[in-house]
Structure 1
Amino acid sequence: MKIEWAPLRVPLERRMQILVTAFFTSMLLILLSVSFLLVAGSLIYGGLLVRSLMVTYLAYVFVHHKKTQSVVDGNGWMITRTNPLHRHYRDYFPVELVKTAELPATKNYILASFPHGILGTGIGINMGLEISKWLELFPQVRPKLGTLDQHFHVPFMREVLRCWGLVSVSKEALIRMLSKSNDPKHKDNQDGFTSNAVAILVGGAQEAMDSHPGQYILTLKNRKGFVRMAIRTGKVDIFEKVAIPPNSLLRAV
């Protein structure tokens, strides 16, 4: 296979997009490594105060996740969910959010997203990292992105994921999000939002392993848990969210 080198004359903005994309592509490995080093370093090399603080924090992570499933009510800190860095990541591909249905802020929603892809980049950007377009198209609807529950057991890493609006796809976490009141006067809706939309990558890791250029291989058989969840939590609608790359044949259908 012949190596194609990038041209020397690349606009500065494009270079920034490449750099930011490389960083976010490696983010999971970076977060896991930094979290492990911080915990291990504090417990092994830290003094009594540092060790005590770390043990206290680890206990807090366990208790807090057990009690709240690490769910962040509201949209969290907006600076962590829409900023120039994240827009560089979005524009590298580019990723675009296209509205095909209304989402009234009078109920909660499950968005069944597919295909998964290697990292779930499209849905991760539109409903996690760069939500300005979402808020423009779907006012008063909070975007949330479901991910593996194990991620919220990792100290420090969980705090970053929570800042990006990620929630656990555990049954308890989804019930907590999808059962919230849509009453504007409810205490949970003091931020001006009255609805929650949780995106779930239905195919999961199995579908991620079937990511191949030019092919859409979906894993939907026996993936009915999100339907049962919608029924269980009451008035929750399910919408499909399909990632369609530019020039895809699906765009012409």
Structure 2
Amino acid sequence: MWVQFAPLRLPLRRRVQTAAVLQWVFSFLALAQCCLVLFLLLLLGDGWVLAVLYAAWLYLDWDTPAQGGRRSSWVRSWTIWGHFRDYFPIKLVKTAELDPARNYLFGFHPHGVLVAGAFGNFCTEATGFSELFPGLCPHLLMLPFWFKVPFFRDYIMSGGLVSSDKASASYILSRPEGGQVAVIAVGGSPESLEARPGALTLQLLSRKGFIKMALQHGAALVPVFSFGENELFNQVSNPQGSFIRTVQEHFQKAMGLALPLFHARGVFQYSFGLLPFRRPIQTVVGPPILVPKTPHPSREAIDDLHRDYLEKLNQLFEENKAKYGLPEDSHLHLI
């Protein structure tokens, strides 16, 4: 295999963009492990006092990830996120006004491998979320496991990440003052196993928990489709029934985490590595579906709203696919 090296002379801005994405990939794949090791080194070494004090703080702060988190406007506005945005680039597209007096549940599709679009748009201000949707406060839901890791939990909360358990989503969507947005990658980690260039497979047909949650709190449902999300990485072939897919699914059921075997490019060459390709991501936020508050929704009500949501999501995709480079004969595949 021939290795395609990056040109020696590249504009500094492109080098900085690559560095910004490199630190993001590191944060996603290895920062939690590094934080855990740091905590253990402090605990077993001369810094044990700091470790004990942090452990006490962790005990007192344990429920924060399920109670709206602890976002930092300063962290969300770091200059590095602008370079991260420009690497792909990422763009947030608004199609309708959203009343800040309401609470919203954004269904984000597709999950992709590392949900780059969801992070860039909803965990930073790089794409101007607060300017496009004034009065709204986004919270991206993430697996509860990660909020148990010392230090790492505080960092991810600063960007607006919160636990994805039911209590966390309920806390956000029940705020009486409104203006809260729970962003859920509906397909979850299993959908990441379908993420590869050209893929339009969404795990949605049996996923109705978010529909029930919206009904219970009367939160407006908003379909969000991120064009380009699946174009960022290649993935080792893992068709249903294959040995690789079977192992991945068993691991996902046991640990709650998927292990997509992905690859793309490196820092100084374009042939292999874990950095995403430079592919544009256009995240389109659709019009809201107003939902009546129904504390105890019937199965029929859930099914009806789920059907309506699928129709609106498909309509959003069909209306925008040509605009963002997809052929007319491309369609969503729902499983």
Q: TM-score range by the shorter chain?
A: 0.7 to 0.9
Q: How does 1:109-124 map to 2 (within 5 A)?
A: 109-124=104-119
Q: CA RMSD in A?
A: 2.1
1:57 to partner: Cα distance: 2.4
Partner of 1:40: 40
1:26 paired to 2:48 = no
1:70 to partner: Cα distance: 5.5
TM-score by length of 2: 0.66
Moved more, 195-204 or 128-137: 128-137
In the aligned structure 1, how far is the partner of 2:181 from the partner of 2:126?
A: 12
Output one character per residue of 1:195-235: Cα deviation in whole Å (capped at 9) or x when no partner.
011110011111111111111121112211111111112x2
1:23 to partner: Cα distance: 1.3
In the aligned structure 2, how far is the partner of 1:138 from the partner of 1:67?
A: 25
Q: 1:70 to 1:243 in 2, by over 3 A?
A: same
In the aligned structure 2, how far is the partner of 1:93 from the partner of 1:247?
A: 7
Partner of 1:203: 187
Q: Structure 2: any 5+ residue segments left out of the alignment?
A: 229-279, 283-319, 329-335
1:243 paired to 2:226 = yes
Partner of 2:7: 7
Contact 1:114–1:242 (8 Å) recurs in 2:
yes
TM-score by length of 1: 0.86
In the aligned structure 2, how far is the partner of 1:243 from the partner of 1:162?
A: 23
In the aligned structure 1, how far is the partner of 2:281 from the partner of 2:39?
A: 46
Output one character per residue of 1:57-112: Cα deviation in whole Å (capped at 9) or x when no partner.
22432442247625336xx3212002211000011000000001221101100100
In the aligned structure 1, how far is the partner of 2:141 from the partner of 2:69?
A: 12
Partner of 1:16: 16
In the aligned structure 2, how far is the partner of 1:133 from the partner of 1:5?
A: 34
**SS across alignment from 2:90:** coil
**SS across alignment from 1:89:** helix
Contact 2:35–2:149 (8 Å) recurs in 1:
yes
1:131 to partner: Cα distance: 5.1
Partner of 1:80: 75
In the aligned structure 2, how far is the partner of 1:179 from the partner of 1:203?
A: 23
Contact 1:145–1:198 (8 Å) recurs in 2:
yes
Partner of 1:57: 54
1:223 to 207, 216, 233: 207
Report percent identity of matched pairs.
32
**SS across alignment from 2:30:** helix
Contact 1:131–1:143 (8 Å) recurs in 2:
no
1 or 2, which has the higher helix percentage? 1
Q: What amino acid maps onto 2:13 in structure 1?
A: E
**SS across alignment from 2:180:** strand
Partner of 1:71: 68
In the aligned structure 1, how far is the partner of 2:169 from the partner of 2:151?
A: 22
Output one character per residue of 1:155-185: Cα deviation in whole Å (capped at 9) or x when no partner.
1000001101101111111111110112xxx
Partner of 1:152: 147
**SS across alignment from 2:199:** coil
Contact 1:244–1:251 (8 Å) recurs in 2:
no
Q: 1:4 to 1:132 in 2, by over 3 A?
A: closer
Q: What amino acid maps onto 1:14 in structure 2?
A: R
In the aligned structure 2, how far is the partner of 1:247 from the partner of 1:52?
A: 45
